[in-house]
Amino acid sequence: MKQEILVPRVNTNDDEVELVHWYVEDKQFVEVGQEIADVESSKAVMSIESEAAGYILTSARVGDSIGVGAPLATIYNELAELEADLNGGAAAPAKRDRSTPVRESTVPLVVTNGAVQTKLDSEQELIDEKIEKSQQDLVTVAAKPSFGFTRFSPSAKEYLKQHNLDASQFEGMGLVSVEAIEQILGKKSQPITPGNGGHSATVVTPSLSNSNLRSEKVSKAKQIEISLLTAGQAGGINSSLTLQFNSAGIRQTLAETGSLNGQILPLVLFEFSRLLEEYPVFNAYYEAGRIYYYDRIDIGLAMDLGKGLKVPIIRNANFLSPVEILETVTDYATEYLDNRLDPADLIGGTVTVTDLSNEGILHFQPLLNQNQSIILGIGGDSSIDGYPLTLTVVFDHRISAGREVASFLNELKKRLLSYALSNLPQTQQLAKTKNVQCSKCSIDLHSLYQKFGSEALMQVHINEQGETDYICHVCLEGF
């Protein structure tokens, strides 16, 4: 008896997934619920678990694209049955041995007077056909890229309705804007590509000398990233401003008060989200001569922990405290590493933040995403005195101007520096730096934070003499 494991639908936009990793080998015994493979959609990586116990026979190789509902593997109750299928049964699909080169075509041969003569003319025709087809394919791809999903912007939907256009002809184009529709319909004779100053795109035919170079297919997630970033640069008039200041004072405050695990990012996200309420134009996007304003602040946080770039969304960030933001980011990081990010958590950001301050990168310029008007890049270098921090805003000049962005950056800097220990009011400094001791074990507050970090707790209580006293969370458990 055997049972097929079929490819599940990871999200509504994808009809196929890419197999990125096998955890098991053919003929290996697997248990129910055991992870057997990772598949990648355009949004996330998902682990596939075995639905039955038995011996496994895989039906695809790493790098293959597999349709939703297609067999991924087969589980056999008996190893003998698996062996039988391998030795001539029809149940298991045949696998090509990748060590054996595959010829895509053969050159016709003619036998003349007992000798073998190569038909050079036919060979040349075959090469010419391949070159012509390659050029045609490149032109088609340049005109209408395929991203495995289709989603129309609000103005694009209205455009389709006004012009009575069939949406199916734009299938597979990814995120479709009015500009993209007009380019496909030929209404824009010079399609704009990022950074080309408005000149028409040039189709480059691969050199035949490159045919022996190693190549690999771009993953679905990377295709989506390319789609979003390409669309974000389509206007060709993005600009950036950078502001730099020392963050050592802020970090000292976080360390001495045991706040946010000493991390400055949650504090930046907290103040950034609140400041966006005063600058609604930075939580908006431009399309077809209009500015569309979002009614929520959902921050996309760019995250790359070794398994590819993902941008999980911190929903309604302006209503969260710094601690709640830290918890959300930590949860997302854990789900990222465990391949448990829900595709729904990667959709719908209204603004994006990317942080390279922990990588020792002080200056960089992030790329604007589609349907967003700014992106905030955070840089830093701990090896330089004062631990300088940079805030870089890349903005769409069709929506805002440098003066407005400069005002935004300076206000954000002012708010962040207000957390520096030297800038706190004197009474607040005393309240935060007062070093008290536990009445039971005599550990002081500073040492407690050094040992337990954000989990440290010193509780105030009234002792038997009616005086104010303190007890640490360790002693509190046995109090």
Domain ranges of the chain: 2-86, 139-208+218-236, 237-423, 435-476
**Both structure tokens of 118:** 């190569």
Return the bridge partners of 351, or none: 299
Contacts of 387 (CB under 8 A, 6+ apart): 246, 247, 248, 251, 380, 381
CATH class label, 2-86: mainly beta
pLDDT at residue 297, as a whole number: 96
pLDDT at residue 42, as a whole number: 67
Residue entry with tokens 């190693």: 214
Residue entry with tokens 């394919």: 137
pLDDT at residue 394, as a whole number: 94
pLDDT at residue 113, as a whole number: 46
pLDDT at residue 38, as a whole number: 86
Q: Under CATH, which number does the domain 237-423 receive? A: 3.30.559.10
- Cα 409 to Cα 272, 319, 380, 391, 430, distances in angstroms: 9, 21, 16, 7, 30
pLDDT at residue 324, as a whole number: 92
**Both structure tokens of 81:** 């049955």
Mean pLDDT by 10 residues, the chain (479 residues): 85 77 90 88 78 90 86 90 77 41 40 44 53 45 49 73 78 67 58 37 47 65 66 72 93 84 92 96 90 95 87 95 91 87 89 92 90 94 92 92 94 92 48 61 76 69 69 71
**Angle in degrees, CA 156, 159, 165, rounded to 5:** 105
